Structure 1
Amino acid sequence: MIKAVVFDFDGTILDTESCEYNVLQKIYKEHGAELPIEVWGECIGTHSTYFDAHEYLEEQIGKKLDRDTIKQQRLDIFQELIKDREALPGVMEYLEAAKQLGLKIGLASSSSYKWVSKHIKNLGIEHYFECIKTSDDVETVKPDPTLFLKAVECLGVKPEESIAFEDSVNGAKAAKRAGLHTVVIPNLVTQHLTFEEYDLKLESLAELELQEMINQFTKQ
């Protein structure tokens, strides 16, 4: 019996990842360099220190740059791109459906609580989540399963009673290893990656109603 749903945040609820990649591509091009999507995609869903975009740029052009200036430029462009973004297709419908079905709703993100809480408040969806677990709550983020294990424990359900929604390879690995039913919804950045650990793959949550998804998992 499915009793809970647990959402990833970046790239699953809000398309921050495509925005971030576009920002970096713009900065790289200004310096005559390029950031391959295959390189960037490998760090999606895990800790931000996994890949240093500034260091990689310096390696590409063979010289040091003013990192503070680039960091501010990166932030300014990102904020402009993200300010009018809405939740990804199907997210609002799934949150409301989960609420109507009496399911517990959690969030498990490798990002910081400050980052996640700011954006879900801007989207007006913070009230849906009974439990939010972020990088602030664990020593090791995804693909380690701890975030999901802490989320389901907080919700008072078992992993096998829960469905996880993820957009990244690292996130899917974490959810599956934690024992949750795992649905992957790759975005423009992660769709080029090879997903190996998941139960169901969709183009968007709008593709399948939550109740129908639950029916599929309970028949297994």
Structure 2
Amino acid sequence: MMIKAIIFDFDGVILDSERIMYLVMQKMFNKYRVELPLSVWSQAIGTQHGFDSIGYLAKESGATINRNEFKEERDQLFNKLVDQEEVLPGVKSVIKQAVERDLKIGLATSSRGEWPRKHLKRLGLTDYFLSIKSWDDVQKVKPAPDLYLKTLESLDIEPREAIAIEDSFNGSLAAKRAGMFCIVVPNAVTKQMPFGHVDGCFKSLKDVNLDKLINYFTPEEKKFGVGV
């Protein structure tokens, strides 16, 4: 089969929101003199309900925490910072290459729908995406394959005709469970995750040449190792 589509994750791939959220959560935890190790926080990355951060904080601090107040303060800090962020390096290059090759472009994210749409519009990227599937469109988010299967269906392509671009273990596992090719671009908060199951790992999307990448995914489905 020929590659006909590129499907992006959003947080950590298009926008550096995961690093910012971790920094915000560290700041929130520090108020209670509790550390938030990356190994613990990583349970929340690329999915929903993977980690009860407030429950963890209450247990570690012994404090009673008002969830609504905590979330309101967290979101205010987070949005103030993330609204200043530009698109991550290499994203526009990959989109441009995909457009030049008449590839369909989709987005599959575990976030709520308004979140990626707001920032894609702010970044001037909305018009490139033929399909945007989010938390609102499925019963189970990543690492379940549902988001990718929905995206593939909306683009009218088969799993082996698409390459997913992910940054997290949960996201990449969802893509592979959907039967797709998947490359990962780990960031500061996902680089310690295991990615032995994916089809390639890049330091930055700036390093991605779609012609070379697609050539790896021939009908013989030759794979290339992590660390290319």
Q: Secondary structure at the match of 2:191?
A: helix
How far off is 1:67 after superposition? 2.7
TM-score (norm: length of structure 2): 0.92
Q: Secondary structure at the match of 1:149?
A: helix
Q: Map 1:96-115; keep pairs closer than 5 Å.
A: 96-115=96-115
Q: Map 1:166-205; keep pairs closer than 5 Å.
A: 166-205=166-205
Give the structure 1 partner of residue 67 of structure 2.
67
How far off is 1:119 after superposition? 1.4
Deviations 1:50-101 (A, max 9, x none): 2121111111101102333322221121122112211111101111111111
The reply on whether 1:83 has 2:83 as its aligned counterpart is yes
How far off is 1:191 after superposition? 0.6
More helix by share: 1
Q: Secondary structure at the match of 2:33?
A: coil
In structure 2, distance between residues paired with 1:161 and 1:72: 42
Give the structure 2 partner of residue 146 of structure 1.
146
In structure 1, distance between residues paired with 2:20 and 2:158: 34
Give the structure 1 partner of residue 214 of structure 2.
214
Structure 2: gaps of 5 or more residues: 223-228
Deviations 1:195-214 (A, max 9, x none): 23200011111112222211
Q: Secondary structure at the match of 1:182?
A: strand
In structure 2, distance between residues paired with 1:35 and 1:46: 18
RMSD over aligned CA atoms reads 1.2
Structure 1: gaps of 5 or more residues: none
Task: Decide whether the 8 Å contact of 2:94 with 2:208 is kept in 1.
Answer: no
Give the structure 2 partner of residue 125 of structure 1.
125
In structure 1, distance between residues paired with 2:207 and 2:167: 15
Give the structure 2 partner of residue 160 of structure 1.
160
How far off is 1:129 after superposition? 0.4
Task: Decide whether the 8 Å contact of 2:165 with 2:183 is kept in 1.
Answer: yes
In structure 2, distance between residues paired with 1:43 and 1:211: 34
In structure 1, distance between residues paired with 2:165 and 2:213: 12
Task: Decide whether the 8 Å contact of 2:5 with 2:103 is kept in 1.
Answer: yes
Task: Decide whether the 8 Å contact of 1:108 with 1:147 is kept in 2.
Answer: yes
How far off is 1:149 after superposition? 1.0
How far off is 1:14 after superposition? 0.6
Q: Which moved more, 1:140-149 or 1:63-72?
A: 63-72
Percent sequence identity over matched residues? 46
